[in-house]
Chain A
Amino acid sequence: MAQQIIAKIISQKEVKPGCFKMALLAPAIAKAACPGQFLHIRCGSSSDPLLRRPVSIHRIDKSSLEILYNVVGRGTEILSKKKPGGSVDIIGPLGNGFNIYENSGSVKMLVAGGMGVAPLLGLSEELKRHKTKSIVILGAKTKNHILCGKEFKKLGAEVYIATEDGSMGKKGLATDLAREIIHSKRYKWHEMCIYAAGPTGMIKTLCKLMEGCSLESQVSLEERMACGLGACLGCAVDTQAGYKRVCKDGPVFKLCDIICE
Protein backbone atom coordinates (compact mmCIF):
# COMPACT_ATOMS: atom_id res chain seq x y z
CA MET A 1 0.00 0.00 0.00
CA ALA A 2 1.22 3.49 -0.82
CA GLN A 3 2.53 5.73 1.91
CA GLN A 4 3.08 9.44 2.21
CA ILE A 5 6.37 10.30 3.88
CA ILE A 6 8.81 13.15 4.22
CA ALA A 7 11.90 11.49 2.79
CA LYS A 8 15.41 12.64 3.57
CA ILE A 9 17.53 13.46 0.53
CA ILE A 10 20.66 11.32 0.63
CA SER A 11 22.23 12.72 -2.51
CA GLN A 12 21.45 14.90 -5.48
CA LYS A 13 23.68 15.10 -8.54
CA GLU A 14 23.40 16.68 -11.96
CA VAL A 15 24.40 13.75 -14.16
CA LYS A 16 23.96 15.60 -17.47
CA PRO A 17 23.00 19.22 -18.08
CA GLY A 18 19.43 19.54 -16.79
CA CYS A 19 19.23 15.89 -15.73
CA PHE A 20 19.40 15.00 -12.06
CA LYS A 21 19.71 11.88 -9.98
CA MET A 22 18.34 12.04 -6.46
CA ALA A 23 18.57 9.37 -3.77
CA LEU A 24 15.93 9.34 -1.05
CA LEU A 25 15.84 7.55 2.27
CA ALA A 26 12.52 5.70 2.25
CA PRO A 27 12.83 2.20 3.75
CA ALA A 28 9.15 1.23 3.76
CA ILE A 29 8.51 2.46 0.23
CA ALA A 30 11.74 0.85 -1.03
CA LYS A 31 10.69 -2.46 0.50
CA ALA A 32 7.31 -2.38 -1.21
CA ALA A 33 8.43 -0.96 -4.57
CA CYS A 34 9.06 -2.77 -7.82
CA PRO A 35 10.57 -1.52 -11.10
CA GLY A 36 8.17 0.54 -13.18
CA GLN A 37 6.29 2.04 -10.26
CA PHE A 38 6.46 5.76 -9.52
CA LEU A 39 6.58 8.34 -6.77
CA HIS A 40 4.25 11.33 -6.57
CA ILE A 41 6.45 14.17 -5.43
CA ARG A 42 5.52 17.52 -3.97
CA CYS A 43 8.24 19.72 -5.43
CA GLY A 44 7.47 23.00 -3.69
CA SER A 45 5.75 23.97 -0.49
CA SER A 46 3.48 26.74 -1.75
CA SER A 47 0.39 26.56 -3.94
CA ASP A 48 2.28 27.43 -7.09
CA PRO A 49 3.25 25.03 -8.54
CA LEU A 50 0.30 23.24 -7.02
CA LEU A 51 0.22 19.62 -8.08
CA ARG A 52 2.62 16.83 -7.31
CA ARG A 53 4.87 15.47 -10.05
CA PRO A 54 4.88 11.79 -10.96
CA VAL A 55 8.46 10.54 -11.27
CA SER A 56 9.54 6.99 -12.14
CA ILE A 57 11.45 5.00 -9.59
CA HIS A 58 14.91 4.64 -11.12
CA ARG A 59 16.63 2.28 -8.71
CA ILE A 60 15.50 0.43 -5.62
CA ASP A 61 17.84 -0.34 -2.73
CA LYS A 62 17.12 -1.88 0.66
CA SER A 63 16.25 1.37 2.37
CA SER A 64 16.53 3.95 -0.36
CA LEU A 65 15.21 4.86 -3.78
CA GLU A 66 16.72 6.75 -6.66
CA ILE A 67 14.93 8.93 -9.13
CA LEU A 68 16.32 10.24 -12.41
CA TYR A 69 14.58 13.28 -13.80
CA ASN A 70 14.91 16.09 -16.27
CA VAL A 71 14.16 19.69 -15.38
CA VAL A 72 11.17 20.37 -17.59
CA GLY A 73 9.24 23.02 -15.68
CA ARG A 74 9.04 24.92 -12.43
CA GLY A 75 8.24 21.87 -10.33
CA THR A 76 11.26 19.87 -11.38
CA GLU A 77 13.39 23.02 -11.24
CA ILE A 78 12.49 23.45 -7.56
CA LEU A 79 13.22 19.76 -6.99
CA SER A 80 16.63 20.10 -8.64
CA LYS A 81 17.62 22.88 -6.22
CA LYS A 82 17.06 20.71 -3.15
CA LYS A 83 20.19 19.69 -1.30
CA PRO A 84 21.32 16.47 0.42
CA GLY A 85 20.20 16.54 4.05
CA GLY A 86 17.00 18.28 3.06
CA SER A 87 13.74 16.48 2.57
CA VAL A 88 10.94 15.98 0.11
CA ASP A 89 7.29 14.97 0.50
CA ILE A 90 6.66 11.77 -1.47
CA ILE A 91 3.81 9.30 -1.94
CA GLY A 92 4.69 5.83 -3.14
CA PRO A 93 5.11 3.28 -4.43
CA LEU A 94 2.32 3.99 -6.90
CA GLY A 95 0.98 2.21 -9.96
CA ASN A 96 1.70 -1.17 -11.45
CA GLY A 97 5.28 -1.94 -12.39
CA PHE A 98 6.76 -4.24 -15.00
CA ASN A 99 5.77 -7.86 -14.89
CA ILE A 100 8.93 -9.93 -15.27
CA TYR A 101 7.43 -13.26 -14.38
CA GLU A 102 5.50 -13.84 -17.58
CA ASN A 103 7.59 -15.56 -20.26
CA SER A 104 10.37 -16.00 -17.73
CA GLY A 105 12.54 -17.97 -20.11
CA SER A 106 12.52 -15.37 -22.86
CA VAL A 107 15.12 -12.84 -23.99
CA LYS A 108 14.46 -9.47 -22.35
CA MET A 109 14.93 -6.45 -24.57
CA LEU A 110 14.73 -3.05 -22.91
CA VAL A 111 14.08 -0.10 -25.24
CA ALA A 112 14.66 3.35 -23.76
CA GLY A 113 13.98 6.60 -25.57
CA GLY A 114 15.50 9.63 -23.84
CA MET A 115 14.39 9.83 -20.22
CA GLY A 116 12.53 6.56 -20.72
CA VAL A 117 15.71 5.04 -19.40
CA ALA A 118 14.66 6.08 -15.87
CA PRO A 119 12.43 3.09 -14.96
CA LEU A 120 14.45 0.60 -17.03
CA LEU A 121 17.69 0.53 -15.01
CA GLY A 122 15.85 -0.77 -11.95
CA LEU A 123 14.20 -3.33 -14.19
CA SER A 124 17.57 -4.47 -15.51
CA GLU A 125 18.79 -4.86 -11.91
CA GLU A 126 15.72 -6.93 -11.06
CA LEU A 127 16.27 -9.09 -14.15
CA LYS A 128 19.86 -9.66 -13.09
CA ARG A 129 18.63 -10.79 -9.67
CA HIS A 130 16.54 -13.31 -11.56
CA LYS A 131 19.62 -14.31 -13.53
CA THR A 132 18.09 -13.02 -16.72
CA LYS A 133 20.24 -11.06 -19.12
CA SER A 134 18.95 -7.85 -20.65
CA ILE A 135 19.55 -6.49 -24.10
CA VAL A 136 19.35 -2.73 -23.72
CA ILE A 137 18.75 -0.20 -26.46
CA LEU A 138 19.38 3.39 -25.50
CA GLY A 139 18.19 6.10 -27.83
CA ALA A 140 18.81 9.83 -27.47
CA LYS A 141 19.28 13.01 -29.49
CA THR A 142 23.07 13.12 -29.13
CA LYS A 143 25.81 11.29 -27.25
CA ASN A 144 25.53 13.93 -24.51
CA HIS A 145 21.98 12.80 -23.86
CA ILE A 146 22.77 9.10 -23.45
CA LEU A 147 22.19 8.03 -19.86
CA CYS A 148 23.12 4.97 -17.80
CA GLY A 149 25.16 3.18 -20.50
CA LYS A 150 27.87 2.29 -17.98
CA GLU A 151 25.38 1.19 -15.33
CA PHE A 152 23.68 -1.22 -17.72
CA LYS A 153 27.04 -2.62 -18.84
CA LYS A 154 28.04 -3.16 -15.20
CA LEU A 155 24.96 -5.30 -14.83
CA GLY A 156 26.19 -7.42 -17.70
CA ALA A 157 23.57 -6.16 -20.12
CA GLU A 158 24.24 -6.09 -23.83
CA VAL A 159 23.99 -2.37 -24.64
CA TYR A 160 23.20 -0.85 -28.03
CA ILE A 161 23.12 2.88 -28.62
CA ALA A 162 21.31 4.98 -31.18
CA THR A 163 21.62 8.74 -31.51
CA GLU A 164 19.58 10.95 -33.78
CA ASP A 165 22.67 12.88 -34.93
CA GLY A 166 24.88 9.81 -35.15
CA SER A 167 27.34 11.19 -32.58
CA MET A 168 27.37 7.84 -30.77
CA GLY A 169 26.39 4.35 -31.80
CA LYS A 170 24.05 3.91 -34.71
CA LYS A 171 22.50 6.97 -36.33
CA GLY A 172 18.75 6.86 -35.90
CA LEU A 173 16.13 6.03 -33.32
CA ALA A 174 16.01 3.40 -30.60
CA THR A 175 13.13 1.79 -32.46
CA ASP A 176 15.26 1.46 -35.62
CA LEU A 177 17.76 -0.56 -33.62
CA ALA A 178 14.99 -2.58 -32.01
CA ARG A 179 13.63 -3.45 -35.46
CA GLU A 180 17.09 -4.50 -36.61
CA ILE A 181 17.68 -6.74 -33.61
CA ILE A 182 14.25 -8.33 -33.75
CA HIS A 183 14.69 -9.10 -37.45
CA SER A 184 18.25 -10.37 -37.06
CA LYS A 185 18.81 -14.05 -36.47
CA ARG A 186 20.74 -13.36 -33.26
CA TYR A 187 17.86 -14.24 -30.95
CA LYS A 188 14.86 -16.46 -31.14
CA TRP A 189 12.57 -13.50 -31.57
CA HIS A 190 9.44 -15.42 -30.73
CA GLU A 191 10.91 -15.97 -27.26
CA MET A 192 11.67 -12.30 -26.83
CA CYS A 193 9.96 -10.02 -24.37
CA ILE A 194 10.15 -6.25 -24.82
CA TYR A 195 10.03 -3.57 -22.13
CA ALA A 196 9.93 0.03 -23.30
CA ALA A 197 9.68 3.55 -21.99
CA GLY A 198 10.06 6.79 -23.88
CA PRO A 199 8.29 9.61 -25.67
CA THR A 200 4.86 9.15 -27.25
CA GLY A 201 6.39 9.05 -30.74
CA MET A 202 8.58 6.13 -29.76
CA ILE A 203 5.68 4.20 -28.25
CA LYS A 204 3.65 4.77 -31.44
CA THR A 205 6.52 3.52 -33.62
CA LEU A 206 6.91 0.51 -31.38
CA CYS A 207 3.19 -0.16 -31.73
CA LYS A 208 3.56 -0.26 -35.53
CA LEU A 209 6.69 -2.36 -35.27
CA MET A 210 4.91 -4.93 -33.12
CA GLU A 211 1.73 -5.02 -35.19
CA GLY A 212 0.81 -8.56 -36.03
CA CYS A 213 3.75 -9.78 -33.98
CA SER A 214 3.07 -11.98 -30.99
CA LEU A 215 5.95 -10.65 -28.87
CA GLU A 216 5.11 -9.86 -25.29
CA SER A 217 5.66 -6.10 -24.90
CA GLN A 218 5.18 -3.90 -21.87
CA VAL A 219 5.44 -0.12 -22.04
CA SER A 220 5.58 2.51 -19.34
CA LEU A 221 3.38 5.48 -20.21
CA GLU A 222 3.34 9.07 -19.08
CA GLU A 223 0.35 11.36 -18.76
CA ARG A 224 -0.40 14.50 -16.80
CA MET A 225 -2.01 13.52 -13.55
CA ALA A 226 -3.52 15.19 -10.52
CA CYS A 227 -4.06 12.70 -7.68
CA GLY A 228 -1.79 9.82 -8.76
CA LEU A 229 -4.08 7.52 -6.76
CA GLY A 230 -6.75 6.60 -9.29
CA ALA A 231 -9.40 8.96 -7.95
CA CYS A 232 -9.52 11.92 -10.30
CA LEU A 233 -9.48 10.04 -13.64
CA GLY A 234 -7.28 12.80 -15.05
CA CYS A 235 -4.53 10.63 -16.55
CA ALA A 236 -6.69 8.68 -18.96
CA VAL A 237 -5.16 6.65 -21.78
CA ASP A 238 -7.16 5.00 -24.53
CA THR A 239 -6.94 1.20 -24.52
CA GLN A 240 -8.75 -1.69 -26.18
CA ALA A 241 -10.89 -1.88 -23.05
CA GLY A 242 -11.70 1.87 -23.02
CA TYR A 243 -10.02 4.59 -21.00
CA LYS A 244 -7.64 3.40 -18.31
CA ARG A 245 -5.83 5.36 -15.61
CA VAL A 246 -2.07 5.67 -16.15
CA CYS A 247 -1.58 6.17 -12.39
CA LYS A 248 -3.50 3.15 -11.14
CA ASP A 249 -4.02 0.75 -14.07
CA GLY A 250 -0.50 1.60 -15.32
CA PRO A 251 1.93 3.23 -15.76
CA VAL A 252 3.02 -0.09 -17.30
CA PHE A 253 0.63 -1.48 -19.89
CA LYS A 254 0.81 -4.27 -22.40
CA LEU A 255 1.67 -2.63 -25.69
CA CYS A 256 -1.04 -4.59 -27.48
CA ASP A 257 -3.68 -3.10 -25.15
CA ILE A 258 -2.81 0.51 -25.98
CA ILE A 259 -4.55 2.27 -28.84
CA CYS A 260 -1.79 4.10 -30.72
CA GLU A 261 -3.17 6.50 -33.31
Chain B
Amino acid sequence: MRINTKIKIGNIEMKNPVAVASGTFGYGDEFEGLTDIKSLGAIVTKTITLHARVGNKPPRVTETPAGMLNSIGLENPGVERFLKEKMPSLVKFKIPIIVSIAGESTEEYAEIAKRLDSVREIDGIEINISCPNIQTNELIAQNEILTAEVVKSVKSVTKKTVITKLSPNVTNIVSIAKAAESAGTDAISLINTITAMAVDIKTRESRLGNITGGLSGPAIKPIALHMVWKVYRSVGIPIIGMGGIMDWKDALEFILCGAKAVMVGTANFVNPDAAGEIITGIENYLKSARAQDISGLVGKLRV
Protein backbone atom coordinates (compact mmCIF):
# COMPACT_ATOMS: atom_id res chain seq x y z
CA MET B 1 0.00 0.00 0.00
CA ARG B 2 1.34 3.41 -0.92
CA ILE B 3 1.27 5.91 1.86
CA ASN B 4 1.19 9.64 1.51
CA THR B 5 2.89 11.84 4.08
CA LYS B 6 2.89 15.00 1.96
CA ILE B 7 1.21 18.05 3.40
CA LYS B 8 0.85 21.66 2.44
CA ILE B 9 1.12 24.67 4.74
CA GLY B 10 0.06 27.71 2.73
CA ASN B 11 2.18 27.35 -0.40
CA ILE B 12 4.87 25.31 1.31
CA GLU B 13 4.87 21.75 0.06
CA MET B 14 6.38 19.43 2.64
CA LYS B 15 7.18 15.81 1.80
CA ASN B 16 6.30 14.88 5.35
CA PRO B 17 4.79 16.77 8.28
CA VAL B 18 7.99 16.94 10.35
CA ALA B 19 10.04 20.13 10.53
CA VAL B 20 12.77 21.21 12.91
CA ALA B 21 11.89 24.10 15.19
CA SER B 22 13.52 27.50 15.24
CA GLY B 23 16.54 27.85 17.49
CA THR B 24 17.08 24.13 17.87
CA PHE B 25 18.78 23.24 14.60
CA GLY B 26 21.02 26.23 14.01
CA TYR B 27 21.20 26.82 10.28
CA GLY B 28 21.37 23.12 9.44
CA ASP B 29 25.05 22.52 8.85
CA GLU B 30 25.70 21.90 12.57
CA PHE B 31 23.74 18.62 12.21
CA GLU B 32 25.37 17.39 9.01
CA GLY B 33 26.50 13.80 9.27
CA LEU B 34 24.31 13.18 12.32
CA THR B 35 20.95 13.12 10.53
CA ASP B 36 19.70 13.11 6.94
CA ILE B 37 18.70 16.76 6.67
CA LYS B 38 17.36 16.24 3.14
CA SER B 39 14.65 13.95 4.54
CA LEU B 40 13.09 16.66 6.71
CA GLY B 41 9.74 18.19 5.85
CA ALA B 42 11.17 21.67 6.40
CA ILE B 43 13.79 23.55 8.33
CA VAL B 44 12.98 26.60 10.40
CA THR B 45 16.01 28.78 10.99
CA LYS B 46 17.08 30.38 14.21
CA THR B 47 15.22 33.67 14.59
CA ILE B 48 16.70 36.52 12.56
CA THR B 49 16.41 40.17 13.54
CA LEU B 50 17.05 43.26 11.44
CA HIS B 51 20.37 43.96 13.13
CA ALA B 52 22.70 41.49 14.79
CA ARG B 53 21.93 40.64 18.41
CA VAL B 54 24.55 39.48 20.91
CA GLY B 55 22.09 37.59 23.09
CA ASN B 56 21.81 37.29 26.85
CA LYS B 57 24.58 36.80 29.36
CA PRO B 58 25.44 33.24 30.38
CA PRO B 59 24.52 30.83 31.84
CA ARG B 60 21.94 30.45 29.10
CA VAL B 61 20.69 26.92 29.59
CA THR B 62 19.85 24.73 32.53
CA GLU B 63 18.08 21.45 32.94
CA THR B 64 14.83 20.92 34.84
CA PRO B 65 12.79 17.74 35.40
CA ALA B 66 11.99 16.38 31.92
CA GLY B 67 12.78 19.74 30.38
CA MET B 68 15.23 22.54 29.90
CA LEU B 69 15.28 26.28 30.34
CA ASN B 70 16.97 28.60 27.90
CA SER B 71 17.60 32.31 27.83
CA ILE B 72 19.63 32.66 24.63
CA GLY B 73 18.08 36.03 23.84
CA LEU B 74 17.83 35.72 20.05
CA GLU B 75 21.57 35.87 19.37
CA ASN B 76 21.88 36.09 15.58
CA PRO B 77 23.96 37.81 12.90
CA GLY B 78 21.14 40.04 11.56
CA VAL B 79 19.25 39.64 8.30
CA GLU B 80 21.95 40.71 5.85
CA ARG B 81 24.68 38.52 7.26
CA PHE B 82 22.16 35.68 7.54
CA LEU B 83 21.42 35.91 3.82
CA LYS B 84 25.08 36.14 2.91
CA GLU B 85 26.60 33.62 5.31
CA LYS B 86 23.87 31.14 6.24
CA MET B 87 21.57 30.86 3.24
CA PRO B 88 24.09 29.16 0.92
CA SER B 89 24.45 26.17 3.23
CA LEU B 90 20.69 26.00 3.88
CA VAL B 91 19.85 25.94 0.18
CA LYS B 92 21.93 22.84 -0.49
CA PHE B 93 19.59 20.65 1.57
CA LYS B 94 16.85 21.21 -1.02
CA ILE B 95 14.05 21.24 1.55
CA PRO B 96 11.62 24.04 2.31
CA ILE B 97 13.29 26.86 4.23
CA ILE B 98 11.21 28.79 6.71
CA VAL B 99 12.95 31.82 8.17
CA SER B 100 11.96 32.81 11.68
CA ILE B 101 11.96 36.57 12.20
CA ALA B 102 11.59 38.94 15.14
CA GLY B 103 11.46 42.71 15.25
CA GLU B 104 11.38 45.40 17.88
CA SER B 105 8.43 47.10 16.19
CA THR B 106 5.73 46.37 13.62
CA GLU B 107 7.79 48.28 11.06
CA GLU B 108 10.86 46.22 11.78
CA TYR B 109 8.96 42.94 11.23
CA ALA B 110 7.79 44.31 7.90
CA GLU B 111 11.27 45.49 6.96
CA ILE B 112 12.81 42.05 7.54
CA ALA B 113 9.94 40.30 5.75
CA LYS B 114 10.31 42.64 2.80
CA ARG B 115 14.01 41.88 2.59
CA LEU B 116 13.34 38.13 2.68
CA ASP B 117 10.53 38.35 0.12
CA SER B 118 13.03 38.96 -2.66
CA VAL B 119 14.97 35.77 -1.86
CA ARG B 120 13.57 33.04 -4.08
CA GLU B 121 15.00 30.14 -2.05
CA ILE B 122 13.03 31.09 1.06
CA ASP B 123 9.67 29.32 1.21
CA GLY B 124 8.07 30.76 4.30
CA ILE B 125 8.38 33.26 7.11
CA GLU B 126 7.63 32.36 10.70
CA ILE B 127 6.80 35.47 12.70
CA ASN B 128 8.24 35.00 16.17
CA ILE B 129 6.14 37.25 18.37
CA SER B 130 6.53 35.03 21.38
CA CYS B 131 10.17 34.75 22.46
CA PRO B 132 10.14 35.11 26.25
CA ASN B 133 13.82 35.98 26.46
CA ILE B 134 13.87 39.56 25.31
CA GLN B 135 13.52 42.55 27.58
CA THR B 136 9.98 43.72 26.94
CA ASN B 137 7.08 44.28 29.28
CA GLU B 138 4.64 42.48 27.09
CA LEU B 139 5.06 40.03 24.25
CA ILE B 140 3.31 40.89 21.01
CA ALA B 141 1.69 37.46 21.20
CA GLN B 142 0.08 38.46 24.50
CA ASN B 143 -1.94 41.17 22.81
CA GLU B 144 -4.58 40.55 20.12
CA ILE B 145 -4.31 44.00 18.57
CA LEU B 146 -0.51 43.95 18.33
CA THR B 147 -0.55 40.38 17.00
CA ALA B 148 -2.95 41.39 14.23
CA GLU B 149 -0.90 44.50 13.43
CA VAL B 150 2.33 42.56 13.02
CA VAL B 151 0.68 39.84 10.91
CA LYS B 152 -0.95 42.45 8.65
CA SER B 153 2.28 44.40 8.22
CA VAL B 154 4.22 41.26 7.28
CA LYS B 155 1.51 39.99 4.95
CA SER B 156 1.40 43.33 3.18
CA VAL B 157 5.04 43.07 2.09
CA THR B 158 5.45 39.41 1.22
CA LYS B 159 3.84 36.78 -0.95
CA LYS B 160 5.57 34.04 0.95
CA THR B 161 3.68 31.78 3.30
CA VAL B 162 3.41 33.43 6.69
CA ILE B 163 3.28 31.37 9.87
CA THR B 164 2.69 33.10 13.19
CA LYS B 165 4.26 31.53 16.25
CA LEU B 166 2.15 32.00 19.33
CA SER B 167 3.03 32.10 22.98
CA PRO B 168 1.56 29.83 25.65
CA ASN B 169 2.06 32.65 28.17
CA VAL B 170 -1.46 33.99 27.68
CA THR B 171 -4.85 33.79 29.34
CA ASN B 172 -6.75 32.87 26.21
CA ILE B 173 -4.78 31.29 23.39
CA VAL B 174 -7.87 31.06 21.17
CA SER B 175 -8.45 34.81 21.02
CA ILE B 176 -4.83 35.41 19.98
CA ALA B 177 -5.03 32.65 17.36
CA LYS B 178 -8.22 34.15 15.97
CA ALA B 179 -6.64 37.60 15.84
CA ALA B 180 -3.73 36.19 13.84
CA GLU B 181 -6.10 34.35 11.52
CA SER B 182 -8.26 37.42 10.91
CA ALA B 183 -5.13 39.43 10.13
CA GLY B 184 -4.30 36.99 7.36
CA THR B 185 -1.65 34.61 8.67
CA ASP B 186 -1.48 31.46 6.55
CA ALA B 187 -0.78 29.20 9.49
CA ILE B 188 -0.18 29.18 13.21
CA SER B 189 2.64 27.47 15.03
CA LEU B 190 2.36 26.76 18.72
CA ILE B 191 3.67 26.62 21.28
CA ASN B 192 6.77 28.68 21.98
CA THR B 193 8.49 28.08 25.34
CA ILE B 194 6.81 28.78 28.66
CA THR B 195 8.35 31.51 30.82
CA ALA B 196 9.95 29.78 33.79
CA MET B 197 12.75 29.80 36.36
CA ALA B 198 15.20 27.60 38.22
CA VAL B 199 17.13 28.57 41.35
CA ASP B 200 20.43 27.39 42.78
CA ILE B 201 19.93 27.29 46.56
CA LYS B 202 23.67 27.11 47.23
CA THR B 203 24.46 30.40 45.52
CA ARG B 204 20.88 31.73 45.95
CA GLU B 205 21.02 32.85 42.36
CA SER B 206 18.92 32.04 39.35
CA ARG B 207 20.43 29.28 37.25
CA LEU B 208 20.16 31.60 34.24
CA GLY B 209 22.08 34.80 33.63
CA ASN B 210 18.86 36.43 32.43
CA ILE B 211 17.04 35.26 35.64
CA THR B 212 14.06 33.89 33.67
CA GLY B 213 13.98 31.66 30.64
CA GLY B 214 11.80 29.56 28.40
CA LEU B 215 10.84 26.02 29.39
CA SER B 216 10.82 23.36 26.69
CA GLY B 217 11.00 19.60 26.42
CA PRO B 218 8.69 16.75 27.48
CA ALA B 219 7.61 18.71 30.56
CA ILE B 220 5.52 21.07 28.41
CA LYS B 221 3.95 18.55 26.02
CA PRO B 222 0.59 18.23 27.80
CA ILE B 223 0.18 22.01 27.80
CA ALA B 224 1.10 22.28 24.13
CA LEU B 225 -1.29 19.49 23.17
CA HIS B 226 -4.15 21.19 24.97
CA MET B 227 -3.46 24.48 23.21
CA VAL B 228 -3.26 22.83 19.78
CA TRP B 229 -6.56 21.08 20.46
CA LYS B 230 -8.25 24.28 21.60
CA VAL B 231 -7.00 26.35 18.68
CA TYR B 232 -7.80 23.60 16.16
CA ARG B 233 -11.48 23.81 17.08
CA SER B 234 -11.50 27.58 16.71
CA VAL B 235 -9.60 28.43 13.52
CA GLY B 236 -9.68 27.26 9.91
CA ILE B 237 -6.00 27.66 9.04
CA PRO B 238 -3.32 24.99 9.47
CA ILE B 239 -1.67 24.54 12.84
CA ILE B 240 1.92 23.42 13.30
CA GLY B 241 2.21 21.82 16.71
CA MET B 242 5.26 21.66 18.91
CA GLY B 243 6.30 21.42 22.52
CA GLY B 244 8.13 18.43 23.92
CA ILE B 245 7.86 16.15 20.89
CA MET B 246 10.51 13.50 21.48
CA ASP B 247 9.32 10.61 19.29
CA TRP B 248 6.79 9.63 16.62
CA LYS B 249 4.14 8.83 19.20
CA ASP B 250 4.32 12.36 20.56
CA ALA B 251 4.09 13.70 17.00
CA LEU B 252 0.97 11.66 16.33
CA GLU B 253 -0.66 12.95 19.50
CA PHE B 254 -0.25 16.47 18.13
CA ILE B 255 -1.59 15.46 14.71
CA LEU B 256 -4.65 13.80 16.29
CA CYS B 257 -5.24 16.99 18.31
CA GLY B 258 -5.30 19.02 15.10
CA ALA B 259 -1.74 19.78 14.03
CA LYS B 260 -1.24 19.44 10.29
CA ALA B 261 2.51 19.46 10.80
CA VAL B 262 4.82 19.25 13.79
CA MET B 263 8.11 20.80 14.73
CA VAL B 264 10.79 19.00 16.69
CA GLY B 265 12.78 21.22 19.03
CA THR B 266 14.52 20.20 22.23
CA ALA B 267 14.63 16.57 21.07
CA ASN B 268 17.26 17.59 18.48
CA PHE B 269 19.64 18.33 21.35
CA VAL B 270 19.13 14.92 22.93
CA ASN B 271 19.12 12.97 19.69
CA PRO B 272 20.34 14.77 16.55
CA ASP B 273 18.40 12.25 14.45
CA ALA B 274 15.14 12.72 16.41
CA ALA B 275 13.25 14.29 13.49
CA GLY B 276 14.44 11.58 11.10
CA GLU B 277 13.30 8.85 13.47
CA ILE B 278 9.94 10.58 13.88
CA ILE B 279 9.43 10.63 10.09
CA THR B 280 10.15 6.89 9.89
CA GLY B 281 7.92 6.21 12.90
CA ILE B 282 4.99 8.06 11.35
CA GLU B 283 5.40 6.15 8.07
CA ASN B 284 5.44 2.83 9.93
CA TYR B 285 2.38 3.84 11.93
CA LEU B 286 0.47 4.70 8.76
CA LYS B 287 1.43 1.35 7.24
CA SER B 288 0.42 -0.66 10.29
CA ALA B 289 -2.82 1.30 10.71
CA ARG B 290 -3.57 0.79 7.02
CA ALA B 291 -4.01 4.52 6.73
CA GLN B 292 -3.06 5.92 3.34
CA ASP B 293 -2.79 9.58 4.01
CA ILE B 294 -1.38 11.49 6.98
CA SER B 295 -3.92 14.26 6.37
CA GLY B 296 -6.67 11.82 7.29
CA LEU B 297 -5.42 11.76 10.88
CA VAL B 298 -5.34 15.51 11.46
CA GLY B 299 -7.74 16.43 14.27
CA LYS B 300 -9.16 12.92 14.45
CA LEU B 301 -9.10 12.77 18.22
CA ARG B 302 -12.11 10.74 19.38
CA VAL B 303 -14.21 12.74 21.79
Contact = CB atoms under 8 A, between A and B. Distances in A.
B54 A231 contact: no
Contacts of B88: none
A140 to B, nearest CB: 20
B68 A50 contact: yes
Contact of B30 (A50, A51, A231, A243): A231
Interface stretch (B108-116, B138-146, B266-274, B285-293): B266-274
A245 to B, nearest CB: 10
Given A49-B63, A227-B30, A229-B34, A236 B270 contact: no
Grouping DSSP codes into helix (H, G, I), strand (E, B) and loop, the B interface class, with mixed when no group exceeds half, is loop
B55 A50 contact: no
Contacts of A49: 63
Interface in B48-65: 54-55, 57-63, 65
A51 B34 contact: no
Interface in A110-148: none
A227 B46 CA distance: 14
Contacts of A238: 57-58
Contact of B33 (A2, A228, A236): A2
Interface stretch (A16-24, A97-105, A166-174, A218-226): A218-226
A233 B66 contact: no
B59 A232 contact: no
Contact of B61 (A4, A225, A229, A243): A225
A180 interface: no
Given A3-B33, A224-B59, A224-B62, A50 B266 contact: yes
Nearest to B217: A50
A51 B72 contact: no
A232 B66 contact: no
B281 interface: no
A51 B68 contact: yes
Contacts of B268: 227, 231
A234 interface: yes
B25 A231 contact: yes
Contacts of A3: 33-34
Interface in B191-219: 217-218
B75 A248 contact: no
Contacts, number: 105
B161 interface: no
A232 B23 contact: yes
A243 B55 contact: yes
Contacts of A52: 269-270
Interface string A1-29: 11110000000000000000000000000
B54 A91 contact: no
A230 interface: yes
B264 interface: no
Nearest to A89: B271
A61 B63 CA distance: 32
Interface string B257-277: 000000000101111110000
B158 interface: no
B26 interface: yes
Contacts of B39: none
A49 B218 CA distance: 11
Contacts of B61: 224-226, 232, 234-235
B67 interface: yes
Contacts of A231: 24-26, 30-31, 46, 268-269
Interface string B26-41: 1000111110000000
A1 B29 CA distance: 11
A4 B60 contact: no
A237 interface: yes
A233 B209 CA distance: 14
B49 to A, nearest CB: 14
Given A3-B33, A229-B30, A51 B58 contact: no
Given A51-B68, A242-B54, A233 B60 contact: yes
Given A50-B68, A223-B59, A236-B75, A230 B26 contact: yes
Given A232-B26, A234-B61, 11 more contacts: A1-B33, A4-B273, A42-B271, A47-B66, A50-B63, A224-B59, A231-B31, A232-B269, A236-B72, A236-B75, A243-B54
Interface of B: 23-26, 30-34, 46, 54-55, 57-63, 65-68, 70, 72, 75, 217-218, 246, 266, 268-273
What are the 8 A-B residue pairs with the smallest beta carbon separation, nearest first? Answer: A231-B26, A234-B61, A231-B30, A47-B218, A226-B269, A227-B269, A48-B66, A229-B30
18 contacts: A1-B32, A4-B272, A42-B270, A48-B66, A48-B218, A50-B68, A50-B217, A91-B34, A229-B34, A231-B30, A231-B268, A232-B23, A232-B72, A234-B60, A234-B70, A235-B58, A238-B58, A243-B58
